[in-house]
Amino acid sequence: MSKLFFVASDEEIKNGKTTDIYFERTEEILRKKAISKSVAAEVTCGGIPNSWPWGIFLGTEDVARLFEGIPVTVYSLREGTFFRAKDDQGIRTPVVLIEGDYASFCVYETPLLGFICQASGIATAAARVKKVAGEKTVLSFGARRMHPSITPMISRACYLAGFDGVSAVISADMLHIPATGTMPHALVIIMQDHAKAWKAFDEIVDKTVSRVALCDTYLDEKLETLMAATAVKDLSGVRLDTPGSRRGNFKEIIQEVRWELNLRGYSHIKIFVSGGLDEDSVQDLKPFVDGFGVGTYVSNGKTIDFSMDIVEMEDQYVAKRGKFSGKKQIYRCKECLRDVIVPWNSRPPECHGKMEPLLEPLVEKGTIVQKFPSASKTRDHVLEQVSHLDLF
């Protein structure tokens, strides 16, 4: 089959073609030897990147569709649930549990992990940035740093993790939100004049789009900002994307621009910043800006190393060295958010408040049984959870 790009299609993923060859060989051996073993396999991780205390689990919907039509039963954390790598007894948090004939699903281990490891890693980095930014706007600008075939996944992970908007068109369409962005330096260069570019934007672009002028292409940020403020009647903001070589002290540049705008009666003009931002710079600049465009730091969010292990076979406890055998459920106290992991079908442990089981039925014998809330509802849920969590 000829392909335009080096990517797997939905169909190839669904048919297990992205799997590692050893799973295909295992399936072949089991089928030819007529070995059918009912197993329970759980997905866990040993830690969250950067020793962060929690992560945001993402990929539930993709996992559901991956296993739809496969004769297995799957339990999973809900999309956007925060998780810790282990509970306070050192037991790894099960984020997904699969039951079925091993040969029927072994080839799906590779795509299953791929779906959740990367999306959860991006969502975790994004949730942290949004927590630092607080009420300030944060937009996902990271599409260009990653493979275009996963642009929707990246933007969705950022949005569900609490970002306020996304710049990529396809992602905005999928999320049913308007795409957000300003103008590239290229427009200013092509138009040969800052004011001409800003005015053309104001003249041509739909009136519902905020008039935000990019103010750092050729001249000083302060000078270009004041030029834009007088050139565009309804200017709502400026974006400063000062290159690293010219930054000196980016915070002081922003403070100066803010002062000069306010002094001339432009206190309503907002300041947006972009370019190489991360948790630390968002924290540092937050008091002086109205919004951030964050790209590589989140789209390149470290993948979370989830792995899958068989923990029961024919209802007997089994596990490889280093893994705890037996199916497990994770309970979370609604009051203090403590997690307690117990053997499956144990009585709920006790804590301050109601203990909720977090592994919920996702797929039953190949049928998706979970209803997925809208992206904005999941986003609200993530923001609510993260509001109770510390960054370190």
Contacts 24+ apart (CB under 8 A), 11-14: 13/66, 13/111, 14/65, 14/66
- The yes or no reply on residue 352 touching Zn ion (CB under 5 A) is yes
Q: Candidates 53-61, 85-93, 132-140, 330-338 — which segment interacts with Zn ion by CB under 5 A?
A: 330-338
Considering the complex, what minimum distance in angstroms separates the CB of residue 88 from Zn ion?
Answer: 11
Pick between residue 144 and residue 352 the one whose CB is nearest to Zn ion: 352
Compare residues 250 and 331 and give the one whose CB is closer to Zn ion: 331
Q: What count of other Cβ atoms lies within 10 Å of the Cβ of residue 262?
A: 12
Q: Does 355 bind Zn ion (CB under 5 A)?
A: no
Residue closer to Zn ion, measured from CB, 284 or 335: 335
CB of 334 to Zn ion, least distance (A): 8
Indicate whether 354 belongs to the interface with Zn ion (CB under 5 A): no
CB of 83 to Zn ion, least distance (A): 16
Residue 135, C-beta contacts closer than 8 angstroms, at least 6 positions apart: none
Contacts of 151 (CB under 8 A, 6+ apart): 143, 168, 170, 171
Among 336, 365, 377, 391, binds Zn ion (CB under 5 A): 336
Three-state DSSP class for residue 307: strand
Residue 120: alpha-carbon gap to chain centroid: 6
The stretch near Zn ion (CB under 5 A) out of 124-132, 338-346, 361-369, 371-379 is 338-346
For residues 95 and 306, give the distance between their C-alpha atoms in angstroms, rounded to a whole number.
9
Which residue, 143 or 340, is less far from Zn ion as judged by CB? 340
**Residue 123 contacts Zn ion per CB under 5 A:** no
Q: Round to whole Å and give the CA distance between 332 and 357.
A: 7
333 makes contact with Zn ion (CB under 5 A): yes
Question: Which range in 176-184, 283-291, 328-336, 360-368 contacts Zn ion by CB under 5 A?
Answer: 328-336
CA 241 to chain CA mean position, Å: 24
Q: Minimal distance in Å, beta carbon 384 to Zn ion?
A: 17
Judged by CB under 5 A, the stretch of 15-23, 38-46, 69-77, 352-360 that binds Zn ion is 352-360
User: Using the rule CB under 5 A, which residue among 318, 351, 375, 389 binds Zn ion?
Assistant: 351
121, two tokens = 């890693």
Please say which residue, 82 or 292, places its beta carbon nearer to Zn ion: 82
Minimum CB distance to Zn ion smaller for 195 or for 337: 337
Helix 109-133 to helix 375-387 angle (10° resolution) is 60
137-140 and 291-294: which strand pairing?
parallel
Angstrom distance (rounded) from CA 285 to CA 250? 8
Burial (CB count <10 Å: 0-12, 13-18, 19+), residue 107: buried
Could you tell me the smallest distance in angstroms from the CB atom of residue 332 to Zn ion? 9
Shorter beta-carbon distance to Zn ion: residue 81 or 120: 81
> Please, which residue, 280 or 356, has the CB nearer to Zn ion?
356
CA–CA distance, 204 with 232 (Å, rounded to integer): 13
User: Does residue number 369 form part of the binding site for Zn ion (CB under 5 A)?
Assistant: no
The 10 Å Cβ neighbour count of residue 59 is 26
Judged by CB under 5 A, the stretch of 68-76, 78-86, 287-295, 349-357 that binds Zn ion is 349-357
With CB under 5 A as the rule, give the number of residues binding Zn ion: 6
The reply on whether position 335 binds Zn ion by CB under 5 A is: yes
Stretch that binds Zn ion, among 163-171, 193-201, 316-324, 326-334 (CB under 5 A): 326-334
Q: Which helix H or strand E contains 124, and what residues bound it?
A: helix 109-133
Burial class of residue 188 (count of CB atoms within 10 Å of its CB; 0-12, 13-18, 19+)? buried
- Which CB sits closer to Zn ion, 28 or 350? 350
CB of 355 vs Zn ion, minimal distance in Å: 8
Nearer to Zn ion, 280 or 335 (CB): 335
What six digits make up the tokens of 105? 């699903």
H helix or E strand, kind and range, residue 297? helix 296-299
Question: What's the CA gap between 274 and 38, in Å, rounded?
Answer: 52
Least distance between Zn ion and beta carbon 23 (Å): 40
**Site residues, Zn ion (CB under 5 A):** 333, 335-336, 338, 351-352
